[in-house]
């Protein structure tokens, strides 16, 4: 279904086509297409027009449930992750599978996302790792990022492409410096004493409890203080605008 975010009204749908649970959906950057992934092991690309949603392409290739889908920034590609431990890249219009599966994870792929430049894809897995792939040569660009102690449920790039953020069943969030190939803070799992960030969009899901921190910082830095000027406590959703002050985040 498509909803108007201001009025809350349903603009289109419900649309049926998948025969299993739908796990992931995303709009194309231009808003003309929707991609969906399902437990029926398929991906569908839908065309939106005049408040209608029409099936455009059925993508088959995964051999187990599809867990995550996303469009590239230019809308020309779709990336998908699956319980078959692989990542696939598809043509965002025709649905053609344009590369061999990306293999490396040893357990189910939980989340996938494109970088702003569309040259990299980040993935997370039940194998407790985060991996970054060069989609042009289908190679992992570094050793897996390790640090989470339970399955990694969600990943995303920062807008400047320098960092990756991950959320895990271990109830923590980590930010990774891609160039240095290391976590820039041990965990975000209680009081956050210090970090430096720029243009982050953080998305994580802890089992059934989604946590969304959107547009947290435009050049926001923190002094390493355990007694910051602002604290936020949440158990479900929170959206935090631009902050340029000391900040503590507590996850309840």
Query: What is the per-residue pLDDT across 49-70, written as a single tens digit (0 to 9) for each?
Result: 766 777 788 999 999 999 999 9
- Looking at per-residue pLDDT, the higher value among 34 and 219 belongs to 34
Q: Which of the listed ranges 62-76, 153-167, 221-235 does the model predict with the highest average pLDDT? A: 62-76
Q: Tell me whether residue 244 is exposed, middle or buried, using C-beta atoms within 10 angstroms of its C-beta: 0 to 12, 13 to 18, 19 or more.
A: exposed
SS3 call for 6: coil
Instruction: Write down the domain spans for the chain.
Output: 2-189
Residue 193 has pLDDT above 70, yes or no: no
Q: How far apart are CA 34 and CA 43, in angstroms?
A: 10
pLDDT attached to residue 28: 93
- Looking at per-residue pLDDT, the higher value among 155 and 226 belongs to 155
| pLDDT averaged over every residue in the chain | 74
Q: How far apart are CA 11 and CA 187, in angstroms?
A: 40
pLDDT attached to residue 187: 55
Other C-beta atoms closer than 10 Å to the C-beta of 117 total 11
List of residues 6+ apart from 75 with CB closer than 8 A = 28, 29, 30, 33, 92
Q: What number is the average pLDDT over the span 178-200?
A: 48
- Looking at per-residue pLDDT, the higher value among 70 and 184 belongs to 70
CA 87 to chain centre: 13
CA distances from 105 to 51, 180, 202 (A): 39, 21, 23
Q: How far apart are CA 154 and CA 201, in angstroms?
A: 12
The DSSP symbol for 144 reads P
Other C-beta atoms closer than 10 Å to the C-beta of 40 total 17
Query: Does domain 2-189 match CATH 3.10.20.90?
Result: no
The DSSP symbol for 74 reads T
Q: Are 153 and 146 in contact (CB under 8 A)?
A: no
Q: Are 90 and 96 in contact (CB under 8 A)?
A: yes
Closest CA to 44 of 55, 33, 52, 54: 55
Closest CA to 195 of 165, 168, 170, 167: 165
pLDDT attached to residue 139: 84
Residue 243 has pLDDT above 80, yes or no: no
CA distances from 3 to 9, 14, 17 (A): 6, 10, 19
**Residue 206: which pLDDT band, with cuts at 50, 70 and 90?**
very low
């Amino acid at each position: 279904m498509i909803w108007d975010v201001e009025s809350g009204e349903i603009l289109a749908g419900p649309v049926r086509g998948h025969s299993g649970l739908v796990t992931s959906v995303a709009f194309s950057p231009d808003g003309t297409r929707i991609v969906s992934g399902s437990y029926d092991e398929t991906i569908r690309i839908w065309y939106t027009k005049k408040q209608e949603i029409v099936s455009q392409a059925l993508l088959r290739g995964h051999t187990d449930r599809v867990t995550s889908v996303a469009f590239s920034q230019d809308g020309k590609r779709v990336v998908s992750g699956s319980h078959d431990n692989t990542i696939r890249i598809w043509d965002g219009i025709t649905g053609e599978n344009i590369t061999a599966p990306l293999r490396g994870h040893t357990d189910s792929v939980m989340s996938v996302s494109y970088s702003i430049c569309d040259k990299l894809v980040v993935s997370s897995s039940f194998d407790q790792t985060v991996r970054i792939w060069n989609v042009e040569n289908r190679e992992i660009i570094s050793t897996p990022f390790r640090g989470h102690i339970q399955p990694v449920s969600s990943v995303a790039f920062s807008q400047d492409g320098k960092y990756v953020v991950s959320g895990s069943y271990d109830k923590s969030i980590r930010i990774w410096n891609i160039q240095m190939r290391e976590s820039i803070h041990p965990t975000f799992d209680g009081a956050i004493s210090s970090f430096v960030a720029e243009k982050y969009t953080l998305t994580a899901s802890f089992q059934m409890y989604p946590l969304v921190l959107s547009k947290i910082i435009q050049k926001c830095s923190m002094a390493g203080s355990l007694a910051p000027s602002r604290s936020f406590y949440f158990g479900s959703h929170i959206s935090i605008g631009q902050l340029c002050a000391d900040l503590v985040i507590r996850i309840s």
